[in-house]
């Protein structure tokens, strides 16, 4: 199985405009998907063995009516659905209970609440706590996703210590130099991974997901949604658009790239580099001294038009 999940960024509209948001979401944005676009995609995803739907944003719960109709269809195929939210709907216990009851009735299996020092400028931490407590009370699987960087502020430490103490299931991410995060001075502190570490072959877990962006683009992974528009070569990262192309056509293009996808899944971008090192260097490629994540090496190789023929040779 190439992909285990279908991940969709349902909208770039959000109740917050966080300074680090990789997709630049905010109250003034209005791009979104719809059930009419998503539901026709599901049968083909079933054939790929996909049984998990992840819904991100923006803030997808702004369109809960639409998510409920998608969930009802997803459940018929035995899928598991997880929604990512900033928890805005838990501004008081009554509202939180109303939303939690709707999640439960719709069969939404899991909710992941995002918070960090940037989120709480818009969504106070007390609201996040109410969201977590209410979801638990309604027996809905709940976890928290938050940032934990090399330089921790007092807010970061408080959030981290709170969830560790209360044993809330969590996942941690690092500040990314994409979207609004590109302009944050503190992002420079994340460039600490030396190039020798980038050459270690390690699996990339992000490629477990087939990703559809809020504008309909079908992208290689969720990370590329923040970087996509700046890439010199978009061919490997964007396989088509569900608003314009049939999903079968898009899948055929994805299948043509399966050899590269498999290498990255198993070995990370280092697998591409080691296989094509000589040809890449002849074409002018050189490693940077430091990186913020392996994603950047992937973008540097596969997002450059001058290396296209070299990397595509792996698919022949």
- What is the average pLDDT across 30-34? 96
Whether residue 91 has pLDDT greater than 70? yes
Residue 9, beta-bridge partner list: 56
Conformation bin of residue 170: beta by default, left when phi > 0, alpha when psi is -120 to 50: beta
Q: What pLDDT digit, counting tens, does each position of 152-174 carry?
A: 677 777 777 777 777 778 787 77
- What is the average pLDDT across 107-128? 93
Q: How far apart are CA 18 and CA 223, in angstroms?
A: 17
Question: How many other CB atoms are there within 10 angstroms of residue 26's CB atom?
Answer: 18
Q: How far apart are CA 205 and CA 200, in angstroms?
A: 15
Whether residue 14 has pLDDT greater than 80? yes
Q: What is the pTM of this model?
A: 0.91
pLDDT at 151: 62
Q: How far apart are CA 299 and CA 305, in angstroms?
A: 11
pLDDT at 149: 67
In the chain, the percentage of residues whose pLDDT exceeds 90 is 58
Q: What pLDDT digit, counting tens, does each position of 171-228 carry?
A: 877 788 888 888 888 887 777 889 999 899 999 988 888 999 999 999 888 877 777 6
Whether residue 242 has pLDDT greater than 80? yes
pLDDT at 1: 65
Residue with tokens 């991100």: 56
Quickly count helices (H) and strands (E) in the chain: 13, 11
Which strands form 217-219's sheet, in the order they lie side by side? Answer: 170-173, 141-147, 110-115, 80-85, 52-56, 5-9, 209-212, 217-219, 238-241
Whole-angstrom CA distances from 177 to 14, 19, 24, 166, 239 are: 20, 11, 12, 31, 24
Whether residue 54 has pLDDT greater than 80? yes
Rg (the chain; Cα; Å):
20
- What is the average pLDDT across 121-135? 94
pLDDT at 166: 73
pLDDT band at 150 (very low <50, low <70, confident <90, very high): low
Question: How many other CB atoms are there within 10 angstroms of residue 189's CB atom?
Answer: 14
């Amino acid at each position: 199985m190439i992909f285990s999940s279908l991940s969709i960024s349902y909208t770039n509209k959000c109740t917050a405009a966080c300074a680090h948001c990789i997709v630049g979401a905010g109250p003034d944005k209005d791009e979104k998907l719809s059930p009419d676009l998503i539901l026709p995609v599901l049968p083909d995803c079933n054939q790929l063995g996909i049984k998990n739907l992840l819904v991100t944003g923006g803030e997808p719960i702004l369109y809960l009516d639409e998510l409920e109709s998608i969930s009802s269809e997803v459940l018929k195929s035995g899928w598991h659905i997880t929604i990512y939210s900033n928890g805005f709907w838990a501004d008081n216990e009554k509202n939180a209970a109303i939303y939690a009851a709707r999640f439960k009735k719709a069969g939404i299996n899991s909710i992941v609440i995002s918070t960090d020092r940037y989120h709480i400028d818009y969504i106070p931490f007390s609201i996040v706590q109410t969201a977590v407590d209410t979801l638990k009370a309604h027996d809905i699987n709940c976890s928290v996703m938050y940032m934990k960087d090399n330089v921790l502020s007092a807010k970061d430490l408080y959030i981290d210590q709170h969830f560790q103490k209360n044993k809330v299931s969590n996942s941690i991410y690092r500040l990314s130099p994409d979207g609004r995060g590109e302009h944050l001075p503190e992002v420079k502190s994340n460039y600490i991974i030396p190039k020798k570490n980038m050459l270690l072959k390690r699996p990339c877990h992000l490629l477990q997901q087939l990703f559809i962006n809020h504008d309909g683009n079908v992208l290689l992974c969720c990370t590329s949604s923040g970087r996509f528009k700046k890439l010199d070569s978009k061919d490997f990262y964007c396989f088509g658009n569900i608003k314009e192309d049939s999903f079968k056509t898009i899948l055929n293009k994805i299948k043509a790239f399966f050899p590269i996808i498999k290498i990255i899944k198993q070995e990370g971008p280092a697998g591409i580099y080691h296989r094509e090192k000589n040809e890449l260097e002849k074409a002018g490629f050189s490693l940077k001294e430091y990186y913020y994540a392996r994603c950047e090496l992937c973008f540097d190789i596969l997002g450059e038009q001058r290396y296209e023929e070299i990397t595509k040779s792996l698919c022949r």
